[in-house]
Structure 1
Amino acid sequence: MARAGPGRAGSARRGLGERRLPTWEISDSDAEGPAGAETPARGRDPAEERRPAAEALRRLRPGQAVRRLAVLVDPAVLEDAGADTLMEALHALGCEPRAEPQRPARSLRWSRESPDPCPRGVPPEVWAEDEPHVLLLLEPEEFVRGVLQLTQVRGPTCPVPWVTPESPARPHLAVIGLDAYLWSQKPSTQETQQPEHPAVTRAEVAVGWPEVEEALVRLQLWANVDVLLVASWQELSQHVCAFTKALAQRPFKQARESGAFPFCTSGRWAAGEQVARDGTGLRRAWWRQVKQFNRVSPAVADAIVSAFPSPRLLQQAYMACGTEQERLGLLADLPVKTGKGVPPRRVGPDLSRRVCLFLTTTDPDLLLDLGS
């Protein structure tokens, strides 16, 4: 009997514990509804909803986006001894240079890998697999022949070399060592005295910087083609890396500018005077607005704001005036506080006229300050 007591007590405690569990289960089930019914979806946490957008925006940042850019280099470019400088610079930048045949030959093309998922608000064309830009590398001799064709044939109907109308990509031309090539083609004194020269040599000699500049203008106006003239592969590598960085930054800039009024900040004040919902700060903002007029000191702004604490009150005073002259001179006689020993001042008719015109005119081209 002595042993039965603890057993009953233990079973009673166990029974009490067993009754507590159904109590909690019943409470939860009552809140959820009848058995078999689906549990209604709870409201999602705003932080959880913003987390995918923040992660997508993080992937758009230039440091991350440049890793999804691939520079496709034609194998003919790699045959040049200076191409190693270009490939090393691209590897150092963090993008992926790949050797793939390109059309036209000796060209570079950019390809972008789209993120998954794509950020909202970014135009779909930003995530195109192939960027609409092609950089075509030209030898100086080939570029000089194209310059001759552009400068000898007049009119916009002249076919532009290196540009095919069916190509959707926008071409960019790059020429390495054109200046040194033109200097090397200049005839010496003895050669100019010899009349027997091949026609090709005379044609190449006829091309100088004036003809090159004319051809650059024609390429820009007729075909919207930019030409990059560099002296070395090192300079070309710097340009390609800078262009690659710009392509990597473009999605981030477009995502940031896609929202309405992107210059407005959310939850913080960027510049100027902060105005609360209850109107605190309006007087200071009105003071700063008056201070923006030319030749207005803080003391003069204090005099105007003290007499009329808001622009609305000043507009009502203008409406109460009977004549135009009265409105223009409403603020002229307002006293301005000055220091000890300084003669008393007033706002004056010039500033009074400018403030009146600022608040009453409907002409957007009206010049307020006659002394500017």
Structure 2
Amino acid sequence: MTTSLKPTIWEISDSDTEVDEESKSDLEFNGSAKDSTVRNVFVQTPSDERDRPSSAKKRRSKEEIEADKKKATQRREAREKNRAAKEREKQEKRKQQQKRKEAAQHLNSLKPENYLKCLTVCIDPALLQQRGCDVLLGTLSSFEWRYSIQQQPLPNSITWARDLPQLAEDDAGTVAEDQLVQVLSPSEFLDLVMSVKRMIDNEGEEPVGDSVLGLITEGLKQDAGKVATLLVTLSQTEYRRHALGETFQSKYGGENLDVEEVLVYLQLDKNIFVFFVDGWQEVTDHVCAVTKSLSRRPFKQLTEQSELPFCADGSWASGVRVEKDGCGLKQVWSKQIQQLNRVSQATASCVTAAYPSPQLLLQAYKASSSDEERKKLLADLAVKGEGKERRVGPEISTRVYRCLTARNPELVLD
């Protein structure tokens, strides 16, 4: 059986033609899009390369690099300086605050009620053997004041010591005050009077070391700054003068005037004060008075050191404030003239209006030919503001002239 092969013929319809045309158009569009993309890529790349700086432009010179390094170093140094300045300011503020705190603490410690806590009353053990010493110890304990029983340079004496606010390595911790009180019996005081009288009669003969005066003299030589006070204990008030003089006269052949002479000599020549007390109660009162006086002394000295200005602020006490530009000097000149007797404010204002400063008035005095003319220079000035007009007058004019030209500080102006 024979099979014949015939070629297959495909017919192309109109729709297929349209599909082919559409596919061609898509291919052409895609191709053109790719070409445009590629073209854009290759076209834009050179423009980007032109915008970028070249390697030659990027490279900086050594001078520019050094300048940048120098600027950076300067900025760093400026920051460090500012930081150091702020740190110094903080430290200065801390120091000022610490100084103010220490000053306030020091001022508070100098107040009498606080300074009493630093004082110690030092009592010689020999005083404990005398009847009535327990009054002193009981009073000090009741006031809660510190006291100690320790050997003193002078027998039967009382001294004071205070604690130092800040102790150094070599400091003992306390410093002695300049007050010394010694308690004497009547017989010891009579021996003292006799020794002083003998020394006065012999024109400065040195006292014997075993005598009361010799012991006091040797004790005061060790500390020249001590102020000694002798308390003579007498049981009766009348015995202080009459019986003491009678005892001295009967025992040594002296008189009452000799006792008075000895007391004056001790005070003026030896800086030793003598008080007669009636028993241990008055001794205790004297010791308490000295202790309170020592506690008030530092604060009092501190307040006395403060200086007051010549022209006080405000209008109290007729003060006048003078500014830096000199405003107020004319008022001071007027107040100075008013200090003279019988010179009113209107009269002083009249003088200052004619001569606004003391220098101008002194120049006018120098220009005058005679003394009489100088004295009458201000006499004819008219004073206004007190009812009717009047003149300064020759009396006030003469006193103003004497006040400004006299060289004798004790001259009476009136």
Same topology, TM > 0.5: yes
**Among 203, 228, 243, which residue is 2:251 paired with?**
203
Match of residue 184 from structure 2: 138
State the alpha-carbon separation in 2 of the partners of residues 38 and 308 from structure 1: 54
**Residues 176-223 of structure 1: CA distance to partner in whole angstroms, max 9, x if unpaired?**
117555656798xxxxxxxxxxx999417x566433212212323443
Q: What percentage of residue pairs aligned between the two structures are identical? A: 34
Aligned to 1:85: 135
Contact 2:248/2:254 (<8 A) preserved? no
Whether 2:281 is the aligned partner of 1:237: answer: no
Tell me how far apart the structure 1 counterparts of residues 332 and 243 of structure 2 sit (CA, whole Å): 67
Aligned-partner residue type, residue 51 of structure 1: K
Structure 1 residue 310, shift from structure 2 partner: 2.9
Find the aligned partners of 1:265 and 1:249 in 2 and give their Cα distance.
Answer: 28
Instruction: Report how far residue 48 of structure 1 moved.
Output: 4.6
Distance in structure 2 (CA, Å) of the matches to 1:79 and 1:162: 20
Q: Verify: 1:105 aligned to 2:155, yes or no.
A: yes
Displacement after TM superposition at 1:106 (Å): 1.4
Tell me the SS of whatever aligns to 1:279.
coil
Larger Rg: 2
Q: Compared with structure 1, are the counterparts of its residues 37 and 185 closer, same or farther at alpha carbon in structure 2 (3 Å cutoff)?
A: closer
Letter in 2 for 1:76: A
Equivalent of 1:173, from 211, 230, 239?
A: 230
Equivalent-residue separation in structure 1 for 2:280 and 2:89 (angstroms) = 61
Which blocks of at least 5 consecutive residues in structure 2 are unaligned?
1-75, 208-212
For 2:364, the equivalent position in structure 1 comes to 317
Letter in 1 for 2:394: P
Cα 1:266–1:233 shift into 2, 3 Å: farther
Structure 1 residues 47 and 227 mapped into 2: Cα distance closer, same or farther (>3 Å)? Answer: same
Deviation, 1:366, is: 6.6
Aligned to 1:157: 205
- What are the within-5 Å matches in structure 2 for residues 257-276 of structure 1? 262-264=307-309, 271=317, 272-276=319-323
**What residue identity is the alignment partner of 2:222?**
S
- Deviation (angstroms), 1:339: 4.4
Q: Which moved more, 1:161-170 or 1:296-305?
A: 161-170
- Correspondence for 2:395: 350
The answer to which structure has the higher helix fraction is: 2
Contact 1:93-1:241 within 8 A present in 2 as well: no
SS of structure 2 residue aligned to 1:63: helix
SS in 2 for 1:42: helix
Task: Tell me which of the two structures has the higher relative contact order, counting C-alpha pairs closer than 8 angstroms and 6 or more residues apart.
Answer: 1
Q: How many residues align?
A: 316
* 2:194 partner letter: L
RMSD: 3.8
Which amino acid letter does the alignment assign opposite residue 251 of structure 2? A
Match of 1:298 among 327, 342, 345: 345
Query: 1:337 aligns to what?
Result: 384
**More displaced stretch, 262-271 vs 217-226:** 262-271
Distance in 2 between the 1:144 and 1:226 partners? 15
| Contact 1:68 1:95 (8 Å CA) reproduced | no
Cα offset, 1:235, TM superposition: 2.3
Measured in 1, the distance between the counterparts of 2:85 and 2:386 equals 78
Distance 2:410 2:187 in 1: 59
For residues 215-230 of structure 1, the aligned pairs below 5 Å read: 215-230=262-277
**Cα distance change of structure 1 residues 39 and 228 upon mapping to structure 2, 3 Å threshold:** same
Which letter does structure 1 place at the counterpart of 2:102? P
Match of 2:121, SS state, is strand
Residue 70 of structure 1: aligned partner: 120
Does structure 1 retain, via aligned residues, the 8 Å contact 2:135–2:281? yes
Aligned to 2:331: 284
- Cα distance in 2 between the residues matched to 1:52 and 1:265: 30
